[in-house]
């Protein structure tokens, strides 16, 4: 059967992102690619949990229900969410059988997964093997899979990996200069993250330019509280700033980014800090927060505008690090068609975009100040009309990308067929 014909049967997809004490979800109508409901269950397992559920109405407004009562565990949370999905007032379906497929965001696919895949026992086992690479994420992701499969046994389930887009990176870019056995035996290498976002904006860029993605060289910059940058050559990722963990690369809200690897040894030796304390320092107390006391870029900009010199310095460091990566990735690409800003800061902070691109005109990268500072939503071009490199703002939509990937991989799959199962497993 033709895959396009199959795809029309996958009409409603539930996207689930399960954390250690949370479940973030969206139900999408794939015929129109519209969000029907969205929500977040927080503080699962605590004395008082919060479930915020929104039904998206025809006028783009929403009808919101907030429940503040204990959610015992993830199963209890998903049962409550399912009840709201079918609720006459707050839901968007009459019965859970209307959900054709469920897309699960999985943080770490290691080297086993180069693309989304149907969830089978082999897939679950492979995800379990990657828990040491992302213990705070893969374990709750698996819990979400197990709970959802028990509540939605007749829906098709797919895993979409945050690392998959970066699996085209060559060894010269993903290997660290450590003894090779550490890579072979312990899988220590660069993996990269935010892959769903980088993939989504790259595809939207190709649509906008009306050119095949495989013909484009792009630099995609995801700037949220976490931040990363990727070099995309002929439609495939060839390098990215995050490493074995999301700590490496750009300066972030609370993460330090690239760091002299001897600094943790110095902290342990001279300040007698434990490994746990150092880990918290680098991941939770550094970045923008470490420099100026604020991790929200809006607050940093506000402090800077009021004359706070440390906030000014934090912004300069933030932009400088991005600019260095832009230069490095231009060098490895050799040619550049478009530079893309996305995520909360990338989409909404013109001062940051200007700081990242200033002085790069010799590379063909230039921003039109009027376009850059003009308020707007959606995809927009902020480079001069005659600019050599298109500089674009493309809002990311990771949930939609997960739904699109889920539809693609589940469209013609029948249970037990093994369709789209990763050949590496």
Question: pLDDT tens across 275-288, in order?
Answer: 999 999 999 999 99
State how far Cα 412 lies from the chain centre.
27
Q: Which of 29, 76, 87, 162 is catalytic?
A: 162
Whether residue 292 contacts residue 303, with contact meaning beta carbons closer than 8 Å, is answered with: yes
Which of 2-6, 145-149, 235-239 ranks highest by mean pLDDT? 235-239
Report the 10 Å Cβ neighbour count for 184: 10
162 annotated active-site:
yes
- C-alpha of 206 from chain center: 19
- The answer to whether residues 85 and 91 touch, using CB atoms and an 8 Å cutoff, is yes
pLDDT band at 129 (very low <50, low <70, confident <90, very high): confident
**pLDDT for position 230:** 98
53-89 pLDDT, tens digit each: 999 888 778 889 999 988 888 888 888 899 899 998 9
Q: Which domains does the chain have, with CATH numbers?
A: 3-161+401-410 (3.30.420.40), 211-394 (3.30.420.40)
Residue 113 has a pLDDT of 86
Q: Which residue has the higher pLDDT, 414 or 302?
A: 302
- pLDDT reported for residue 93: 87
Q: What is the pLDDT of residue 338?
A: 97
Query: Most confidently modeled of 4-18, 132-146, 171-185?
Result: 171-185
Q: In what order do the strands lie in the sheet with 117-118?
A: 62-68, 50-56, 34-42, 23-29, 12-18, 101-106, 156-161, 117-118
Read off the pLDDT band of 4 (50, 70, 90). Answer: very low
CA dist 112 → 129, 161, 235, 277 (Å):
10, 10, 21, 32
Average pLDDT over residues 28-44: 89
pLDDT at 261 over 60: yes
- The pLDDT, as a whole number, for residue 10 is 60
Q: How far apart are CA 199 and CA 140, in angstroms?
A: 24
Task: Tell which phi-psi region holds residue 52, choosing left (phi > 0), alpha (psi between -120 and 50) or beta.
Answer: beta
């Amino acid at each position: 059967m033709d895959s396009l014909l199959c795809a029309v049967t996958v009409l409603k997809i539930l996207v689930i992102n399960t954390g250690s004490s949370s479940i973030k979800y969206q139900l999408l109508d794939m015929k129109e690619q519209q969000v029907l409901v969205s929500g977040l269950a927080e503080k699962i397992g605590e004395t008082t949990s919060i479930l915020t559920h929104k039904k998206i109405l025809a006028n783009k407004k929403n009808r919101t229900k907030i429940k503040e009562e204990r959610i015992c565990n993830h199963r209890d949370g998903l049962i409550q969410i399912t009840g709201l999905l079918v609720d006459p007032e707050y839901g968007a379906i009459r019965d859970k059988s209307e959900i054709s497929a469920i897309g699960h965001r999985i943080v770490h696919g290691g080297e086993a997964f180069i693309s989304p895949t149907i969830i089978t026992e082999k897939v679950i086992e492979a995800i379990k093997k990657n828990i040491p690479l992302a213990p705070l994420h893969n374990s709750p992701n698996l819990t979400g899979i197990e709970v959802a499969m028990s509540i939605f046994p007749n829906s098709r389930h797919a895993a979409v990996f945050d690392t998959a887009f970066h699996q085209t990176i060559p060894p010269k870019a993903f290997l660290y200069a450590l003894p090779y056995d550490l890579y072979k035996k312990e899988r220590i290498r660069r993996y990269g993250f935010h892959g769903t976002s980088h993939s989504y904006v790259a595809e939207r860029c190709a649509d906008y330019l009306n050119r095949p993605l495989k013909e484009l060289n792009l630099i995609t910059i995801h700037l949220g509280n976490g931040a990363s940058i990727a070099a995309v050559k002929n439609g495939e990722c060839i390098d990215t700033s995050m490493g074995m963990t999301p700590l490496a690369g750009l300066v972030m809200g609370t993460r330090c980014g690239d760091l002299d690897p001897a600094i943790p040894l110095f902290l342990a030796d001279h300040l007698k800090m434990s490994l746990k304390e150092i880990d918290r320092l680098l991941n939770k107390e550094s970045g923008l927060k470490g420099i100026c006391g604020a991790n929200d870029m809006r607050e940093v900009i506000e402090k800077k505008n009021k004359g706070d010199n440390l906030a000014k310095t934090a912004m300069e460091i933030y932009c400088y690090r991005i600019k260095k990566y832009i230069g490095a990735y231009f060098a490895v690409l050799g040619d550049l068609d478009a530079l893309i800003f996305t995520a909360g800061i990338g989409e909404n902070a013109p001062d940051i975009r200007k700081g990242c691109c200033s002085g790069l005109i010799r590379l063909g990268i230039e921003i039109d100040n009027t376009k850059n500072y003009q308020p707007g939503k959606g995809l927009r071009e902020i480079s001069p009309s005659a600019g050599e490199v298109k500089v674009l703002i493309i809002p990311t939509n990771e949930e939609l990308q997960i739904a699109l990937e889920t539809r693609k991989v589940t469209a013609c799959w029948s249970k037990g067929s093994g369709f789209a199962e990763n050949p590496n497993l």
